[in-house]
Amino acid sequence: MDGPLTPRESAKFIAENSRDVFIDGGGVRRVAELLFAKVSGPELDLGSWKALHELNPRAADEAAVNWVFVTDTLNFSFWSEHEEHKCLVGYRGKTYSGYWSLCAAVNRALDEGWCPSPGIPITSASYYATVTLEQVQHIFRSDTDVPMPLIEERHRILNETGKILLEKFEGSFLNCVRKSEKSAQKLMHLVVESFPSYRDVTQFEGKRISFYKRAQILVADTWSVLEGKGDGCFKDISSITMFADYRLPQVLVHLGALKYSKELLEKLLKGEMLSYGDRQEVEIRGCSLWCVELIRDCLLELIEKKGEKTSREINSVLLDYYLWDYARDHRADMKGIPFHHTRCIYY
Ligand SMILES: Nc1nc2c(c(CN[C@H]3C=C[C@H](O)[C@@H]3O)cn2[C@@H]2O[C@H](COP(=O)(O)O)[C@@H](O)[C@H]2O)c(=O)[nH]1
């Protein structure tokens, strides 16, 4: 049986058949113009992955690549039912929520340990292949009475993924990267084939479609942590699309590039859960992905038309990073815009 449509093909097909989610052409142009003003700035640059985010590794070595692998293996489902009541992790004097609470917990574990050992080797496959549930609960403990969501799933996935990394790649994700011969697509497919928890695939209108959100962000974060050089010099990084999570749709609606039907908006405002693979959930993810592809095309046209001299590569990965960070920085402005609640291990 041939594989599912690629994420880009899936998104195009979904956008053409969507009933409750729509892309607004004027909004797409306005977002492209917002991004055009940043095209020579520090944000739309590969270096911002380290420069703007203190929890990301500074190094570009094997340990940093394995840090990226374990965080992206657990990079899912941080939202809480009540925004003011959520998992928080304090680290080096700052408090982190959401995705950053995961990174803070990983770095806290590496710094501390079961006395007197130097630290909990949470990024080592030989450790997390057999880590116990109670150790995982300790490592990812929250400073509030709200635990990190899906902690049992996180434990199961750590054991499963660690065992496979040991069996197939001598315990290091850098070996998996090297097997991909500097192709982002080869790496994405090798990850999806090797690690079951990355298989973000579902159905829409009778077709098998894929988003591969965590596999794509893993490739992107590997490219970023290796600074686009050496083993991370992916010649086809521009073929990676935005990552279909629950934050990007929210910020695209906030910016006017995406619109929901009245019925769907009412459902989201009530905080109703959508299941993974539901028609409306797939439409939100697929239309968001296609929307960012159209924004990128529009931005590249603007750069061409206005003759903006920019040597650097503008791709969907950098647009995604920028929009995701924008959503983080404008949380208050986006208060009235609901995001969809799906509890799953894929995003
Ligand atoms: N589309 C997209 N989704 C992303 C990210 C990231 C983290 N990437 C950062 C790390 C290094 C780079 O510097 C990036 O800035 C996490 N997520 C997803 O968001 C959700 C968490 O949101 P909240 O509850 O607000 O923390 C959850 O589904 C998670 O999987 C991204 O970049 N793009």
| Residue ID of nearest Cα to ligand 1 atom 15 | 321
pLDDT at position 312, please? 73
Where are the alpha helices (H) located in the chain, listed in sequence order? 7-17, 25-36, 48-51, 62-73, 98-111, 125-128, 133-139, 151-169, 173-179, 184-194, 213-225, 247-254, 262-269, 279-305, 316-329
- Give the pTM: 0.97
Ligand 1 nearest-atom number relative to CA 248: 1
In sequence order, the 6+-apart residues with CB closer than 8 A to the CB of 21 are 258, 259, 260, 261, 264, 280, 283, 284, 286, 287
Q: Catalogue the long-range contacts made by 37-44 (C-beta closer than 8 Å, 24 or more residues apart).
A: 38/322, 39/299, 39/303, 39/308, 39/310, 39/314, 40/308, 40/310, 43/322, 43/325, 44/312, 44/314, 44/318, 44/319, 44/322
Q: What is the tens place of the pLDDT at every residue in 34-80? A: 999 999 888 999 999 999 999 999 999 999 999 999 999 999 999 99
Is the Cβ atom of 96 under 6 angstroms away from ligand 1?
Answer: no
Q: Catalogue the long-range contacts made by 18-21 (C-beta closer than 8 Å, 24 or more residues apart).
A: 18/283, 18/286, 18/287, 19/261, 19/279, 19/283, 20/260, 20/261, 20/263, 20/264, 20/279, 20/280, 20/283, 21/258, 21/259, 21/260, 21/261, 21/264, 21/280, 21/283, 21/284, 21/286, 21/287
Quote the tokens at residue 60: 């570009």
| Residue ID of nearest Cα to ligand 1 atom 6 | 99
Nearest-angstrom CA–CA distance, 26 and 21: 15
- Between residues 133 and 306, the one the model is more confident about: 133
Please check the confidence at residue 158 and state whether its pLDDT lies above 80.
Answer: yes
Is the Cβ atom of 53 under 6 angstroms away from ligand 1?
Answer: yes
Q: What is the tens place of the pLDDT at every residue in 272-309? A: 999 999 999 999 999 999 999 999 999 999 999 987 77
Ligand 1 nearest-atom number relative to CA 56: 11
Q: In a mutational test of the pocket of ligand 1, which residue from 217, 285, 342 has the highest number of ligand atoms less than 8 Å from its CB?
A: 217
Q: How many CB atoms lie within 10 A of CB 84?
A: 5
Question: ipTM surpassing 0.90, yes or no?
Answer: yes
Ligand 1 nearest-atom number relative to CA 76: 30
Nearest-angstrom CA–CA distance, 189 and 24: 32
Mean pLDDT, to the nearest integer, of 179-205?
98
Could you tell me if 34 and 41 are in contact, meaning their C-beta atoms sit under 8 angstroms apart? no
Share of the chain above pLDDT 90, in %: 93
pLDDT at position 115, please? 54
pLDDT at position 306, please? 86
Give the H/E segment covering residue 94. Answer: strand 94-97
| Location of structure tokens 């304090």 | 90
pLDDT at position 1, please? 65
Nearest-angstrom CA–CA distance, 288 and 290: 6
Q: Which of 233, 224, 238 is nearest to 181 (CA)?
A: 233
Nearest-angstrom CA–CA distance, 36 and 45: 13
Ligand 1 nearest-atom number relative to CA 245: 28
**259: β partners:** 22
| Residue ID of nearest Cα to ligand 1 atom 3 | 245
Is the Cβ atom of 49 under 6 angstroms away from ligand 1?
Answer: yes
| Residue ID of nearest Cα to ligand 1 atom 1 | 243
pLDDT at position 311, please? 67
Please check the confidence at residue 118 and state whether its pLDDT lies above 90.
Answer: no
Give me ligand 1 centre to Cα 52, in Å.
14
**231 counts as catalytic:** no
What distance lies between CA 313 and its chain's CA centroid? Answer: 20
The pLDDT confidence band at residue 19, using thresholds 50, 70 and 90, is: very high
The pLDDT confidence band at residue 233, using thresholds 50, 70 and 90, is: very high
CA distances from 32 to 5, 298, 302 (A): 27, 6, 8
Could you tell me if 131 and 155 are in contact, meaning their C-beta atoms sit under 8 angstroms apart? yes
Mean pLDDT of the chain: 96
Mean pLDDT, to the nearest integer, of 223-235?
97
